[in-house]
Structure 1
Amino acid sequence: MLEGWTPILLIGIVIATILFLISRRVSRKALFLTSIILSLICVGIVIYSIVVVGGWDGMGLGFVTFSGFLGIWVGTISGVIIKKINM
C-alpha cells in the first residue's frame, strides 16, 4: 500500500536520525545553524522543482524535499529535547 511513498518516508526518517545523532555531539548553536542551512537548501530545491522541472517530476522532487525538511526539524527538535533532559 505504501509502495510509492516508502522512499519518501525513508528519506525523512534517515535525515531525522542523522540530525538526532549530530545533535548529541555538537553545540546547540551549531545544530541550529546546520538545520537552518539545510532548510534553506530544501526551500531552494522546492523552488527549483516548481520553476524549472515542473509537472509530475517536479512534484515528486518537492515531496522528497519536503520529507527531508520535516526530517531536519524533527531530528533537530528531538535532539535538543533529549539533550536538555540528559543535562
Structure 2
Amino acid sequence: MDALMLEGWTPILLIGIVVAFIIFFISRKISRKALFLISIVLSLICVGIVIYSREAVGGWEGIGLAFVTFSGFLGIWVGTISGMIIKK
C-alpha cells in the first residue's frame, strides 16, 4: 500500500535529488561566488515558474508543476549549501 502511495511522488522526489547532486558536483569545479550566483538565478527561475503555474496554468496541472518546481528549488539549495560546506 505504501509503495502505491509513493509511486506518484517518485518523479518529484527524483528531480530534487538529481538537481542536488548536479549542483553539488558543479560546486566542486567553480568558485563560491559563481555557485551562489547560479543558485540565485535558478531560484528566481523557479519562483517565476511557480507564479506562472498558479496564474496561467491553474488547476491540478498547475499544482503539479509547482510541486516539481519546489522540489527543484530545494535541490538547488541543498546542493549549494552542501557544496559550500564541503568546499571549506
TM-score, normalising length from structure 2?
0.95
Shift of 1:56: 0.2
Residue of structure 1 aligned with 2:56, choices 44, 49, 52: 52
Alignment map for 1:59-74 (pairs within 5 Å): 59-74=63-78
For structure 2, the 5+ residue unaligned runs are none
- Partners of 1:73 and 1:22 in 2: how far apart? 13
**Equivalent residue letter for 2:7:** E
- Partners of 1:36 and 1:7 in 2: how far apart? 24
The runs of at least 4 aligned residues of structure 1 exceeding 6 Å deviation read none
For structure 1, the 5+ residue unaligned runs are none
Shift of 1:32: 0.2
- Structure 1 partner of 2:85: 81
Identity of counterpart residues, as a percentage? 81
Residue of structure 1 aligned with 2:15, choices 3, 11, 16: 11
| 2:42 is aligned with 1:38 | yes
- Partners of 1:27 and 1:78 in 2: how far apart? 14
